Structure 1
Amino acid sequence: SDKFNLTDRSHFFTQWVKKAAAQIINLIGSAASFYFFRDYLGLSLIFKNKYWMLAFLFAIVFSVTTAFNQSTMVYFAQYVLHDKNLVGIMNVLYYVPTILGFFVSVKLYDRFGKTKMMVIGALISIVGYAMPILMPNSVIYNEIAQAVKGLGQAPLLGALWALFPDTIEYGHWKTGHRIEGLLYSGGSLGQKLGLGIGTATVGWVLGIGHYNGALANQPLSAIHAIYWIFIYLPVIAFVIQLIILHFYKIDEIYPQIMTDLKNHKFADGADK
């Protein structure tokens, strides 16, 4: 039995190593393109654009939570709710509020600002991801939690890629140079980094918890590992997102930036 468990765990680790390796190879290719085939001046200007750095970091953390959500529902449904067939309806309950909320959020960005809407989305997401702590085995309760998660995702998803155009304008105003392609490429790299980190983390945490895919009933350590990747780590990631958004204050100065650029004015110290 111990030999079988060891073999099964080895197979499980092998599969996750393959997934992680694929992500790493993809990341190496993206990073090589980003760092070695771009002009040196553009790279140096990135580090003068604090809001791009924050948006890049946010894209990484946001994509980590996306990887958690995509990878862990099947484990939670099968081993905590004891019905893997719930995955379909749980995903529907997540994505329908996301899609509907996306269209509502787009109309509210101009009124409240993208950053404030993203803060609201992160707070709602924290509530949704934390809800299973209270009643982890209740199907109906967790279905409601999925809908809350999806609702919180909407303003974040809608605004994430809108952050980068704003940072391009800020960088132009701050430095006197406009490097659109490079900054957009960085956003894509941040997304790939986050998905790779998130996918690998799921495998590592399950491995630490001695998850064994051949067992109908997992050991308590594996159940705790599933709780961590389905509940606690996403909550921590959303708290980090809130911290990043606290320092992302471009909405407050963006109107002035656009006015200055329209009048060909730049920040002090910019290359005129």
Structure 2
Amino acid sequence: MNMGNFGIQNVPKSKTIGLMEYFSYGIGDFSFCFIYGAIGSYIVFFYTDVACISAATVGTILLLSKIFDGISDMLMGYVIENVHSPLGKARPWLLWMAIPYCAGSALLFTVPDLGETGRVIYAFISYNLMATTIFTSMNVPYGVLSSVMTNSQNERSILSICRASFGALGVFLISSYAPDLVEFFGGGAQGWQRTFLMIGLVSIGLFWFTFYGCKERVGSGVMEQRTGKKSSITLKQGFQILCANKYWFIMLMVNIFYTAMTSLYGMNLYFAKYVIQSEGRNRSMMMCSTFAAIIVPLLIIPVVKRIGKRNVALYGGVGMGLLGQVILMLTAETSLTAMYLGLILRGMGVACVSATKFGMIADSIEYGEYRTGTRAEGFVYSAASLGVRVGSALASAFIGWVLGAYGYDGSLAVQSESAMRGIRIMFYYAPMVVFLALLGLLAFYKLDREYDGIMNILNERHRRQEMERA
């Protein structure tokens, strides 16, 4: 049934999402998370210990870059709403930007022979080229894609779970095996550059697989193709739509704290190297943190359908996350077994949030349409993804600032007692603050139980508009 100017349609059974399309969508985030995981797990270490840039300078570079990154997210939302392609609204960006993504991956992990000041300038430019420009131009449309593939709350939940599971697998592989690949390709700065050139080449094929395997069925882009009438939304209209959407704001904040938590995984390397004095333990610590994120999303599909995305994120995600963090605080330096248990539980908690948050963001698009009468997938998702940039920036910058304030020096084999205290603060207490913030935010998210009623109102509104046009 045609749902009118708002670009929503009931999808016939024959056109619902199949297994291969779920797989194709998930593969996209698998590829994104090679770089996302590398930035979260290794970028501070790469800059401090390979490029030999001071920790405080690294923190400032990342914070300034993420400010630009947040602006680029909003601009990309505007571009998505106003660039019209016969290939769709979201899909074509995965086709167009895959090759630049490959080049940016290698440049991000390159150390030029330019002296200390030159390396700082290069780090700032290359980071913004990759993260602010190329990554944004692909990742924001990819996020929009799930909202235009279907308007079914259940199918969006499964898409979100597929994205989370495949994304976690990508993070797991890059977090666990990047050091081995670096050594395989010659070690040092050369090894890092070659590793991420290879990863970029693989990513081209994966992004194109997602492009060809996914189909846009609903949304304003589909309506434009059916009617031949192109719509546009100004930046001012976009901000007005967002300001009227309380659930978008909640998910923006959830994204900030969730991404801060995943960025704090980077402290595993410092904790392993300096606190328990076994750098090799970093791999097993990363495996505990991320392996749960691969399995948990697949196991919670029936639970999400029964109790809703918000309840899984709140009770499963925050609950297990807090429990795991308490175990780490009490036992990480005295028992490896207990430390691994804490990391697994914390990873399971983070996975529950990851597996549900994308579907919650997609659902907020309908809420925004219900409140304002305008559907704006690009603006809603790009603004929500702003939380990813802000969270990553704040966490990465805070790591650099705290370590710098406590006297951390990446060129030293043994850190001072003050630096060790800074490492412990970021490993033990920062994640606890994040989980408590998520607890407060998710308590106010009620859209799961309101969604069906909102869709009924929207459907009736669209039906009346169809009658008026007829």
Deviations 1:237-265, CA, capped at 9 Å, x for gaps:
11101100011111121121122222228
Find the counterpart in structure 1 of residue 259 from structure 2: 63
Distance 1:217 1:90 in 2: 21
The one-letter code matched in structure 1 to 2:451 is Y
Q: Is the Cα contact below 8 Å between 1:93 and 1:147 reproduced in 2?
A: yes
Q: Given the alignment, which residue of 285, 288, 300 partners 1:105? A: 300
Contact 1:132/1:142, CA 8 A, preserved across alignment:
yes
Q: Measured at CA, do residues 176 and 11 of structure 1 come closer, stay the same or move farther in structure 2, by a change above 3 Å? A: closer
Matched length: 257
Q: 1:3 corresponds to which residue?
A: none
Give the whole-Å Cα distance in 2 for the aligned partners of 1:171 and 1:27.
Answer: 21
Are 1:205 and 2:402 an aligned pair? yes
- 1:139 matched to 2:336? The reply is yes
**Partner amino acid for 2:392?**
L
Q: Are 2:107 and 1:30 aligned?
A: no
Residue 4 of structure 1 corresponds to which residue in structure 2? Answer: none
Cross-structure match for 1:6? none
Equivalent position SS for 2:331 = coil
| Pairing of 1:86-165 with structure 2 (within 5 A) | 86-119=281-314, 120-137=316-333, 138-165=335-362
**CA–CA separation in structure 2 for the residues paired with 1:196 and 1:98:** 22
Q: Is the 8 A contact 2:59 2:398 kept in 1?
A: no
- What letter matches 2:285 in structure 1? M
Amino acid of the structure 1 residue aligned with 2:263:
A
Verify: 1:13 aligned to 2:13, yes or no.
no
The answer as to whether partners of 1:76 and 1:230 remain within 8 angstroms in 2 is yes
Residue matched to 1:245:
442
Greater relative CO (CA pairs within 8 A, separation 6+): 1
Cα shift at 1:155: 1.3
Counterpart of 2:270, as a letter, is Y
Instruction: State the distance in 2 between where 1:34 and 1:165 align.
Output: 14
Structure 2 distance, partners of 1:33, 1:168, is: 17
Q: 2:277 aligns with which of 64, 71, 82?
A: 82
Contact kept in structure 1, 2:73 and 2:383, CA below 8 Å? no
Distance in 2 separating the partners of 1:139 and 1:108: 31
Q: Structure 1: 5+ residue runs without aligned partners?
A: 1-8, 266-272
Task: Give the SS at the match of 2:290.
Answer: helix
CA contact 1:129–1:230 (8 Å) conserved in 2: no
How far does residue 21 in structure 1 lie from its aligned partner after superposition? 4.1
How high is the sequence identity, in percent, across the aligned residues? 28
Return the alpha-carbon distance in structure 1 between the equivalents of residues 365 and 61 of structure 2.
36
Deviation at 1:31, TM superposition (A): 4.7
Structure 1 stretch displaced more, 30-39 or 108-117? 30-39
Whole-Å separation in 2 of the counterparts to 1:59 and 1:202: 18
Measured after TM superposition, the shift of residue 33 of structure 1 is 4.8
Give 1:42 deviation, angstroms: 2.1
SS of match in other structure, 1:248:
coil
Q: Does 1:257 align with 2:451?
A: no
Correspondence 1:226 to 2:423: yes
1:256, 1:67 → 2: CA distance? 37
* Residues 166-219 of structure 1: per-residue CA shift (max 9 Å, x gap): 111111112222111110111222111111111101111111222233444433
Residues 45 and 14 (structure 1 numbering): CA distance in 2 closer, same or farther, change over 3 Å? closer
**Residue of structure 1 in register with 2:170 after alignment:** none
Match of 1:72 among 252, 264, 267: 267
Shift of 1:100: 0.6
Q: Secondary structure at the match of 1:134?
A: helix
Letter in 2 for 1:139: L
Query: Does structure 2 retain, via aligned residues, the 8 Å contact 1:130–1:232?
Result: no
Alignment-mate amino acid for residue 60 of structure 1: I
Partners of 2:311 and 2:240 lie apart in 1 by 30
Deviation by residue 1:102-143 (Cα, 9 ceiling, x = unmatched): 111233211011111001211111111221221231222211
**Matches of 1:10 and 1:209 in 2, distance apart?**
16
Quickly say closer, same or farther: Cα 1:28–1:167, change in 2 above 3 A: closer
Q: Distance in 2 between matches of 1:41 and 1:15?
A: 36
Q: For the residues of structure 1 that align with 2:371 and 2:262, how far apart are their CA atoms?
A: 32
Q: How far did 1:98 drift?
A: 1.2
Paired AA for residue 160 in structure 1? K
1:47 CA drift (Å): 0.5
How far did residue 20 of structure 1 move?
Answer: 3.9
Please point out which of 230, 234, 237 is paired with 1:41: 237
Task: Give the Cα separation in 1 of the matches to 2:53 and 2:238.
Answer: 45
Q: Paired residue for 2:392?
A: 195
Q: Distance in 2 between matches of 1:204 and 1:53?
A: 28
Provide structure 2 residue ranges, at least 5 long, that are not aligned to the other structure.
1-51, 83-232, 463-470
RMSD of aligned Cα (Å): 2.3
| Cα separation, 2, equivalents of 1:209 and 1:186 | 34
**CA 1:79–1:106: 2 relative to 1, 3 Å:** same
